[in-house]
Structure 1
Amino acid sequence: MAEGEWNGEFDPLADPDEQKHLLSVLDSFRSYRRLAHLNATHVRRQAFYSLPSEHWDSLSQLDDLVDSNADLAEAIFKVGFKTFIAPALDSEWVATIVGPKNAHDEFLVYSTVMDHLNFRTTPENFQNDVEKARSTVNQFYRDWSVEGAVEREKCFDPVVQALEQEFSKQRTQTPSLSKADMRVLLPGAGLGRLLFDICRAGFSVEGNELSYHALIASSLILNHTQKVGQYKIAPFALQSSNHISRHDQFRTFSVPDIDPEEELNNATHGTDLPANERMSMAAGDFCLIYNVPSARATFDAVATVFFVDTAPNVIRYIEAVRNCLKVRGLWINLGPLLWHHVSPSRSSGEGREETTKKHSDAGIADPGSVELTDEEVIQLVEHLGFTIEAHETGKIETGYISNTRSMLQTFYRPSFWIARKKDTLPSSAG
């Protein structure tokens, strides 16, 4: 993935509302340290100081962990600001408001500029962005830590294995076929780990993501990683309930667990095509980008993981997948059905966020919400032009950013299915 770039017509600064939202997202990462200290440590000081003095040390530990999380949040802020905002700034104007004393401190320069920009949204929307920033930091535990591999193996490995099996089938018919010849689409790419894993396996893969929080965070980890374990996060430090010990609450994890660039440089898998030419990210609404004539029959496979339930009307997703898949192309899906109730402006769910904007075709922002059972989803997929080749439920059990030492455990038993696009579509499918 080219540094700081996304595919498609993606210019958030061209629309005033979109620009305001982007700036609010950046501000939510910039404000992580201040707000986390305010809400997690300052508010609790009085309660902690009522404890014996030997217990006060846990409060200072919490302060340190907030700062550690904030280091990652501020790194995301700097990448996003440098990518989207800095190129459009007047350097002479910036010099007048920053001053020579802070000119070499990247965070202070960008933060000072933010203070001079008019982008304030409603308190409700900003609070929503703040919660997403916090969720995004925690998401690094699942996607980019050694310990998160437990959840990744449950959710990502079946997808990669299905792609490998499909490649083996196709290669028996076309011996000269390379993995790089197989184009895979990954909607809801999030922080980019599955995108990376599919590319590392040798395939050509395009991620798609709507959330600015996820887009900027994935750019940080995929394009700006300097070393393994560059950041240290404490994803459970700000959760106050169901801990057996403070040690459990304050556990830290190093991210990323690998250097993505180094790993991809060493993972050729028999193809001469460099990894950075096999992996890309398209920003925007999945339905608006891929359910159009220009995207028709462009991918050999589509993989959706914890994504289908983000649709207010899953038919829109099915139509977009069908449109962008080649005939006989494969759709691999794994996930629960925690249906999101999408409002006309924002939606979110357990670290998987979407943002929307007004459009003649509103994509996932179209009004209405349909919550189907797994059986009904399968029936729809079949009715709209697919053959189900495999389907299982209850065999996979996984958490989602789970604290395995918590007294409260929540697990999903996601549905896993593989569907193939038919040669001909039923007349009712269009």
Structure 2
Amino acid sequence: MDDMDEQMSTPREEVADEEGSEIDPLSDPEERRVLFAALDSFRQYRQAAHYNITHLRRQSFYSLPSTHMEILASEPFSLPKTLDAVDAAIDANADIAETVLALGLDMYGIDPESTDWHGAATSQDMDKVRSTIRQLYRDWAAEGASEREACCGPILASLNRAFEDISPAKRSHMSVLVPGAGLGRLAFEICNAGYAMEGNEISYHQLLVSNWILNYTSGPRSQSVYPWALGFSNHTRRSHQLQKVQVPDVWPSEELDRSCKDLEAELHAYQRMSMSSGDFCVLYKEPRYEAAFDAVTTCFFIDTAPNLIAYIETVKHCLKPGGVWINLGPLLWHFEGGSPEKKNSSTSSSPSETGRENQTRNRGIGESGSFELADEEVVKLVEHFGFQIVEHESVVGEAGYIQDPRSMLQNMYKPSFWMARKQ
């Protein structure tokens, strides 16, 4: 989409300070640091991946006894050829990282020739850029459709049930907020179904990639991604590690044009889809968002809260009376034990890797104190704050999270699903 006015998802700069007023991420020292670290992680992706993934393995390979090395260098093993293929896969992923970087520098008005932000990325930022690129499999590859359907499907069906009296053509008058929007697929699907949608995301890694995939891809299946190339464990075949997927599976601009015509929507999708960056609990407690939305949808999100009450209060504040909150996800409490990165750190498919940042740079999720509840207690707490539980399934199927279905290690969630109505 060539016209910036017609782009549907370029993040608006709505980062909020402790008083809730908007700030420029480049003028606030902490926001500037976090943004620069994210940008620098995309810059470093290629070099860091080549060094850590293949260079060090080559060193280890050539340190083997010569007789062992000869065996592994020949067919059917051909380990040097495998490392060459992994290098090629890294380069394909790095092409995406560098495209995203260029768009990010332009978006935030940063001189590409400046090196002020070089070296800002931490090891955690490098983990996030790797997992964010891998997340393209879940959100925007045809091969990730089963993961998406397990999560987006129930939410969209419930949203349509909640507003079944509204014709598809008039859904554009119903406003839906998607906190923790990630790479934007659920947000896109909600807009594609005819609703006015606003996504919110705190992670610059996620915002930068979602901006690229929604606004700047050149067509369906136009970019190659190798989601599993950087991991060498639990593959039954080497070809599985080197699986290539094409993204996006649908071209957002083309698909939204088509759905607008099919639904005879009164408002075009470009006018009813937007993204905001910042802490959900700070931004959406502002007076301007009081009773602003007809629905809030949360997917694999509420367990990112150290204090779930803060999330509940924020949802209640920004929902209209009679509005609905639709939630689906597990309860992998990210702050259990006091560390947002501690849980499931040994697995490659943990949501804590997806870039849903638990930054302490804003007052909302950075407040002190935390607790963890069971699903039945979560529902009771939501009821305590004046919501009526309309639907509740403690387990709704099984869902993977950036999971290679052919891997010898399978991490599957049995997420809870509920819909609550604000009284």
TM-score by length of 2: 0.87
- The alpha-carbon deviation at position 402 of structure 1 amounts to 0.5
The match for 2:135 among 115, 136, 139 is: 139
AA aligned to 1:154 is A
Q: Name which structure has the greater RCO, CA cutoff 8 Å, separation 6+.
A: 2
Aligned to 2:56: 43
1:209 CA displacement: 0.5
Residues 158-183 of structure 1, C-alpha deviations (whole Å, 9 max, x = no match)? 111111112214x3xxx798100110
Q: 1:52 to 1:44 in 2, by over 3 A?
A: same
Q: What does residue 222 of structure 2 align with?
A: 230
Instruction: Kindly indicate whether the alpha-carbon contact (under 8 Å) linking 2:46 and 2:94 is maintained by their aligned counterparts in 1.
Output: yes
**1:267 positional shift:** 1.1
Please report how far the alpha carbon of residue 81 of structure 1 lies from its aligned counterpart in structure 2 after TM superposition.
0.9
**Does 2:278 match 1:284?**
yes
Q: Which residue of 1 aligns with 2:241?
A: 249
- The gaps in structure 1 that reach 5 residues or longer are 90-109, 423-430
Matches within 5 A, 1:20-419: 20-49=33-62, 50=69, 51-54=72-75, 55=78, 56-86=80-110, 89=111, 110=112, 112-113=113-114, 116-117=115-116, 120-121=119-120, 126-169=122-165, 171=166, 178-268=170-260, 269-341=263-335, 349-359=352-362, 362-419=363-420
1:203-236: CA deviation from partner (whole Å, max 9, x where unpaired): 0000000000001110001111111122111111
Structure 2 counterparts to residues 9-24 of structure 1, below 5 A: 9=22, 11-24=24-37
What one-letter code is carried by the residue in structure 2 that aligns with 1:52? Answer: A
**Distance (whole Å) between structure 2 residues aligned to residue 375 and residue 3 of structure 1:** 35
**SS in structure 2 of the partner of residue 363 of structure 1:** coil
- CA shift, 1:31, in A, is 0.6
Distance in 2 (alpha carbons) for counterparts of 1:285 and 1:10: 12
Any gaps of 5 or more consecutive residues in structure 2? 1-6, 15-21, 63-68, 342-350
Post-superposition offset of 1:117: 1.1
Moved over 4 A (4+): 118-121, 342-348
The C-alpha deviation readout for 1:49-93, integer Å capped at 9, x for no partner, is 52234402111111101111111111111111111133xx4xxxx
Q: CA RMSD in A?
A: 2.1
Q: Give 1:140's aligned amino acid.
A: L
Are the structure 2 counterparts of residues 397 and 342 from structure 1 closer, same or farther at C-alpha, using a change threshold of 3 Å?
closer
Percent identity over paired residues: 47
1:6 aligned residue: 12
SS of corresponding position for 1:332? strand
Task: Give the distance between the partners of 2:312 and 2:319, measured in 1 at CA.
Answer: 11
Q: Is the 2:333–2:372 Cα contact (8 Å) retained in structure 1? A: yes
Provide the secondary structure at the position in 2 that maps to 1:207: strand
Q: Which moved more, 1:334-343 or 1:158-167?
A: 334-343
Counterpart for residue 106 of structure 1: none
Q: What are the superposed Cα offsets for residues 112-138 of structure 1, whole Å, 9 maximum, x if unpaired?
A: 42xx315644xxx61110000000000
Q: 1: CA distance between counterparts of 2:24 and 2:407?
A: 42
Comparing 348-357 and 17-26, the one that deviates more: 348-357
